[in-house]
Structure formats: C-alpha cells, structure tokens
C-alpha cells in the first residue's frame, strides 16, 4: 500500500479578481485536504513551481481564444511545476515510482494529483531547470525563425525567463550579434556578462535610437516578449526578410494602465510588406522540438556553455508576493518557488 501523507496541505487561491495589477489580498495561501489520486493518477509532492507573467491575464479573466481557462475567485492557481511522486498509482505497473520527479502544470500547491503519463523530470542536472521556458526560446530561434549563423538577433525583455535563455541560445546557434532590451542597468550588466548579449538597449523613449546604434545593419530575427513600443522598434529596425516571433506581451502585463487581457500595438503594414517581414505568434512548442531542447539544454548545462538564470523564492507563503514582484519587474530569469 502507498503511504499517502495524512492531513492538509497549502495552496494559493485567487480571492478576488484584481481590477489592475494584483496586490496583497487578491491571492491567499489556504489549507485544503491533500487530494486523493483516482485510477490512472499519482499523488506528487511539489518541489518547485514557476511564477510567470501570463498569470496576470489568467486571473484578470483570461484572453478570448486562449487555451488555458481563466481563473475565478476561489480557484487555485496553476502553472509549470516539478514534483516528487509520493506513491505509485494503484494497479499501474509502468507508471512513475515513488521518489521519481515529474513535470506537470499543477503548480501553486504543495500536493498535486497528476496523470501517470506526466513526463519524467530527471534529464537536467537541476530539476528546477525544467521550469525554464527555454523550449519556447529555442523553438522561436530554430523551428520558427530559422536563425542562420551570422544573423543579428534582438530580444525584447532580455533579462526575463525567456530572454535570459534566448540570448545564450542565440549565441550557441552562431548569431553574429545579440541585442536585448531591459528596464534596468543592473539587469543590462548581467545580460552582457552572463546571458550572451553583445549590447543592451533601454526600455524608454530612446529605444529606437539606441537600437539603431546597437544593431547598425538592422535585425534579422526578433524574439519579442514585450510587444507594444518595443515591437514597433523591432519592426523599424528589421532588415528585409526579418522574422519576428511573438512570445509574450509584458508591455500589457506589467502595466497598471492596461487590462492585461489585450495587447494592442499599431503596426505599419506598408513596412511589413516592403521589408518582407514575417510576424508569427508562438503559443506552444511541438513535441519534437521540446525533446530536442531538453537534450541540448542538458548537454549545454553540463558542459557549462549555458546557465539556467533564475530567481529562487523559498516557500509557498512568499509565492503571492513573488507574483507581485515579477509584475513589477523585480526579478531576473525564471522565477521559481521552492517548497
């Protein structure tokens, strides 16, 4: 028989739908019974989960057409997590064993019930690195944009979860020049010292001018985590045939003036045509590219060619505050809550 821990566990719930950015009081850490797995499921004790900016949108009511449902008051938050299997599934032979680490999307809680098909999280030297959205950055640069050696890459939000890996990946893939935007001088320093960037540009009114200086021949590939004015600057700097991959909408998510559920930007379609620009939204990574990423990421981490930039937050009690911190631009890399 499996040893299911008795009693209760903690999880983070939405208490009230915020009008703007979430504040203390919108989220709460509450106690709830430890869930009981059904046939085909296993109970896991979560070890790490990710705090990510799209939660702003999810708790604000969601975006029409989004694949994940919006959260309503009373709902438990969710997101990428790595947990340790507590007990084998009843009557399942091939499933994960107690002690195995698995990746799933039932973060923001100490215990979760996940399908026995949840993929193992044991191929990277640091299991928390499974929470990095590196597969997205990798797919953007490879399968979607088709980065060629020598090309110039521009990454908006260069110090964030995606950006801090995108710079390093672009460098490994042979980019000729890698430029990233950021809102702070401290982050800019780390981008150049650690994240593969040749130059950084600020998130202010001088952005276009500074980008023209940092990439005087223009940019070929753009990994856009921000949208808004930064996307406009990317289009202005785009060379003929440029590929712009849209991943995130931080400009909308970090702004108190925005609802967080729309990310409007005015683009000049003349410019898109005369420069033969491709703009592509990237929602999810196909399985083959995802597997390829884990293999390369593991190799690069072990050889020291790449790092896993992240900020660790200790304990579920600090998770609500970590979301506020993330949305105020406080952190670098992937934000990981360690339980």
Which x/- pattern, by CB under 8 A, does the window 280-309 give for a copy of itself?
A: xxxxx-------------------------
Cα(54)–Cα(15) distance, rounded to whole angstroms? 18
- Cβ of residue 169: shortest distance to a copy of itself, in angstroms? 20
Q: Nearer to a copy of itself by C-beta: 141 or 316?
A: 141
| Torsions phi, psi for 312 (to 5 deg) | -100, 130
Q: Within 13 A of 15's CA, how many CA atoms are on the CB side?
A: 12
Cα(320)–Cα(29) distance, rounded to whole angstroms? 8
- Examine residue 181 and tell whether it contacts a copy of itself (CB under 8 A): no
What is the total count of residues that contact a copy of itself (CB under 8 A)?
39
Give the three-state DSSP class for 300.
helix
Contacts of residue 31, defined as CB under 8 A and 6 or more positions apart, other chains included, come to 8, 9, 10
Cα(305)–Cα(34) distance, rounded to whole angstroms? 41
* Pair 339, 315: CB distance under 8 Å: yes
Q: Which of 265, 298, 312, 324 binds a copy of itself (CB under 8 A)?
A: 265
- Cβ of residue 144: shortest distance to a copy of itself, in angstroms? 9
Q: Which of 266, 287, 303, 304 binds a copy of itself (CB under 8 A)?
A: 266
CB under 8 A: which stretch of 23-31, 43-51, 57-65, 170-178 binds a copy of itself? 57-65
- Examine residue 277 and tell whether it contacts a copy of itself (CB under 8 A): yes
Q: Nearer to a copy of itself by C-beta: 33 or 264?
A: 264
- Examine residue 268 and tell whether it contacts a copy of itself (CB under 8 A): yes
Report DSSP state, residue 137: H
Which x/- pattern, by CB under 8 A, does the window 195-234 give for a copy of itself?
A: -----------------------------x--x---x---
Cα(247)–Cα(133) distance, rounded to whole angstroms? 10
Contacts of residue 85, defined as CB under 8 A and 6 or more positions apart, other chains included, come to 42, 43, 44, 96, 97, 98, 99, 100, 101, 102
Q: Nearer to a copy of itself by C-beta: 4 or 142?
A: 142
Short-list 262, 316, 328, CA closest to 79:
316
Q: Nearer to a copy of itself by C-beta: 148 or 280?
A: 280
CB atoms near residue 210 (< 10 Å): 18
Cα(175)–Cα(220) distance, rounded to whole angstroms? 10
Q: Nearer to a copy of itself by C-beta: 240 or 315?
A: 240
Query: How far apart, in Å, are the Cα atoms of 21 and each of 51, 55, 158, 325?
Result: 15, 11, 22, 11
- Examine residue 45 and tell whether it contacts a copy of itself (CB under 8 A): no
Q: Nearer to a copy of itself by C-beta: 56 or 177?
A: 56
- Examine residue 270 and tell whether it contacts a copy of itself (CB under 8 A): yes
- Cβ of residue 252: shortest distance to a copy of itself, in angstroms? 7
CB under 8 A: which stretch of 39-47, 209-217, 278-286, 312-320 binds a copy of itself? 278-286
| DSSP, residue by residue, 203-257 | SSTTHHHHHHHHSTT-EEEEEESS-HHHHHHHHHHEEEEEEEEE---HHHHS-TT
- Examine residue 50 and tell whether it contacts a copy of itself (CB under 8 A): no
Q: Nearer to a copy of itself by C-beta: 184 or 259?
A: 259
- Cβ of residue 78: shortest distance to a copy of itself, in angstroms? 17
The tokens of 270 are what?
């003349």
- Examine residue 57 and tell whether it contacts a copy of itself (CB under 8 A): yes
Which x/- pattern, by CB under 8 A, does the window 63-82 give for a copy of itself?
A: xxxxx---------------
- Examine residue 42 and tell whether it contacts a copy of itself (CB under 8 A): no
Q: What is the binding site for a copy of itself (CB under 8 A)?
A: 57, 63-67, 224, 227, 231, 240, 246-249, 252, 261-284
């Amino acid at each position: 028989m499996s040893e299911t821990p008795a009693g209760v566990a903690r999880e983070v719930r939405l208490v009230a739908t915020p009008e703007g950015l979430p504040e203390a009081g919108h989220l709460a850490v509450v106690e709830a019974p430890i869930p009981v797995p059904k046939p085909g499921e296993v109970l896991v004790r979560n070890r790490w989960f990710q705090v990510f900016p799209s939660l702003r949108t999810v708790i604000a009511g969601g975006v029409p057409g989004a694949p994940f449902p919006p959260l309503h008051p009373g709902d438990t938050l969710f997101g990428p997590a790595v947990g340790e299997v507590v007990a084998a599934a009843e009557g399942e032979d091939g499933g994960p064993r107690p002690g195995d680490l698995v990746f799933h999307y039932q973060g923001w809680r100490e215990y979760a019930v996940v399908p026995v098909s949840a993929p193992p999280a044991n191929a990277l030297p640091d299991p928390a690195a499974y929470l990095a959205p590196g597969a997205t950055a990798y797919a953007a640069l490879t399968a979607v944009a088709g980065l060629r050696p020598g090309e110039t890459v521009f990454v908006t939000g260069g110090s964030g979860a995606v950006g801090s890996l995108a710079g390093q990946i672009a460098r490994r893939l042979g980019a000729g020049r890698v430029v990233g935007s950021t809102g702070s001088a401290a982050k800019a320093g780390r981008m150049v010292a650690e994240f593969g960037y040749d130059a950084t540009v600020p998130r202010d009114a001088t952005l276009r001018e500074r980008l023209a200086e940092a990439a005087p021949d223009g940019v070929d590939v753009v990994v856009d985590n921000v949208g808004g004015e930064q996307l406009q600057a990317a289009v202005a700097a785009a060379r003929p045939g440029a590929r712009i991959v849209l991943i995130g909408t931080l400009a909308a998510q970090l702004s108190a003036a925005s609802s967080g559920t729309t990310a409007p930007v005015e683009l000049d379609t003349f410019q898109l045509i005369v420069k033969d620009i491709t703009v592509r939204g990237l929602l999810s990574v196909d399985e083959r590219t995802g597997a390829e990423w884990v293999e390369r990421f593991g190799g690069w981490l072990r050889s020291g060619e790449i790092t896993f930039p992240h900020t660790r937050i200790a304990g579920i009690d600090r998770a609500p505050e970590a979301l506020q911190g993330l949305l105020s631009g406080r952190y670098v890399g992937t934000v990981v809550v360690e339980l």
